[in-house]
Amino acid sequence: MSKQEFLARLRNGLSKLPQHDREERLTFYSEMIDDRMEEGLSEEEAVCEIGDIDQLISQITADVPLEKTKSRRRLRPWEIILLVLGSPIWLSLLIAVFAVMLSLCLSLWAVFVSLAACALGGIVAGIGFACNGHALPGLAMIGAGMVCAGLSVFMFYACKAATKGMWQLIKRRKRNE
Amino acid sequence: MDVQLKRGLLDVCVLAAIKSEDSYGYKIMKDLKPYLELSESTLYTILKRLETANMLTVHTAEHGGRLRKYYHITKDGLRRIEDFKKEWSEMLSIYRFVTKEDIDHE
């Protein structure tokens, strides 16, 4: 086989590869052949030393997907079967965990909302009381309302942090799969 | 030789081949031939992997009217060789320990 023929067949066999990758490999092999010829080998001999071209092509195309998707692990058949069979268990557990996390989050927010509502209610009612002549109770209510307002601000930050934390947990678990 | 062991050794061998001076593909293959069997496609993969890991750099130079790629070892590459030497000096003492009884009984 001539060098040109070898390279043409190689280019053809590696057509599925991205162009940059393919051209790089072709340059590499072309160089290898040239170097061998420089050592005194004939073109035929140089190409011959590279080995069987069909074997080479299948070897390269088998390797490339592995290089590209090194991060994702391929599931073996028995693992898939086990996953499917066990799905009633792990799937419902997963839903349960999710539901618990969600309800925890929501209840935190509920506390915040009720604190905010108390704050608002307290202040408004307090003003109402105060304006109607009940100054002291009114003031007390305003005071209580302000305390609630302060607490609700803290609660707001706590809720935000908890929600963010839970979101990141979910994201990280998704990424690890 | 065990396939897994060989795979780990090939990287370091290629680095060693370009340690003292820059080298090119075919010359690296020739240098390694007495020690390890290496095919072109394997060498290509190793060189690509080492380049991605920043253990070598590639540059093209003219040679005999054509272009040739030369590989140059980096600091990280040199460090990899040093780590290899440390690992193997440990392995050597373990080897001596494992074969000691055999030698004593001979």
**How high is the pLDDT of residue B71?**
96
Indicate the pLDDT class of residue B73, thresholds 50, 70 and 90.
very high
- Inter-residue long-range contacts of A52-57, CB under 8 Å, 24+ positions, other chains counted: A53/A1, A53/A6, A53/A9, A53/A10, A53/A13, A54/A13, A56/A10, A56/A13, A56/B40, A56/B41, A57/A10, A57/A13, A57/A14
Q: What is the reported pLDDT for A72?
A: 47
Residues A67, B45: C-beta atoms closer than 8 Å:
yes
Number of continuous H segments (helices) and E segments (strands) in chain A: 6, 0
In this structure, the strands spanning B23-24 and B56-63 are unpaired
* A38 reaches B (C-beta below 8 A): yes
In this prediction, residue B75 has a pLDDT band, given cuts at 50, 70 and 90, of very high
Q: What average pLDDT does the segment A114-143 reach?
A: 85
Does B31 contact A at CB distance below 8 Å? no
Contact criterion met (CB < 8 Å) for B68 and A31: yes
- Out of B26, B41, B64, the one facing A36 most closely (by C-beta) is B26
Mean pLDDT in chain A?
Answer: 83
pLDDT at B106: 58
Contact present, A11 and A26 (Cβ < 8 Å): yes
pLDDT of residue A115: 87
Per-residue confidence (pLDDT) for residue A70, from 0 to 100: 42
Work out the average pLDDT over B54-61.
94
User: Chain A contacts of B71, Cβ < 8 Å?
Assistant: none
Contact B27 A35 (CB under 8 A): yes
Interface test with A, best of B37, B38, B41, B67 (most A CBs within 10 A): B41
Chain B hits for A56, Cβ within 8 Å:
40-41
Q: With an 8 Å Cβ cutoff, is B53 touching chain A?
A: no
pTM over 0.90: no
Q: Which of B25, B27, B39 sits opposite A28 (nearest CB)?
A: B25
**Mean pLDDT for the stretch of residues A55-73:** 68
Tokens of A135: 């100054």
A57 to chain B: closest CA residue: B41
Q: Are residues B74 and B57 in contact, defined by beta-carbon separation less than 8 angstroms?
A: yes
Displacement of CA B20 from its chain's centroid (Å): 13
Phi-psi region of B92 (alpha: psi -120 to 50; beta: other; left: phi over 0): alpha
Residues of A in contact with B26 (CB under 8 A): 31-32, 35-36
pLDDT higher than threshold 80 for residue A106: yes
Question: What number of CA atoms fall less than 13 Å from residue B90's CA on the CB side?
Answer: 5
DSSP state of B106: -
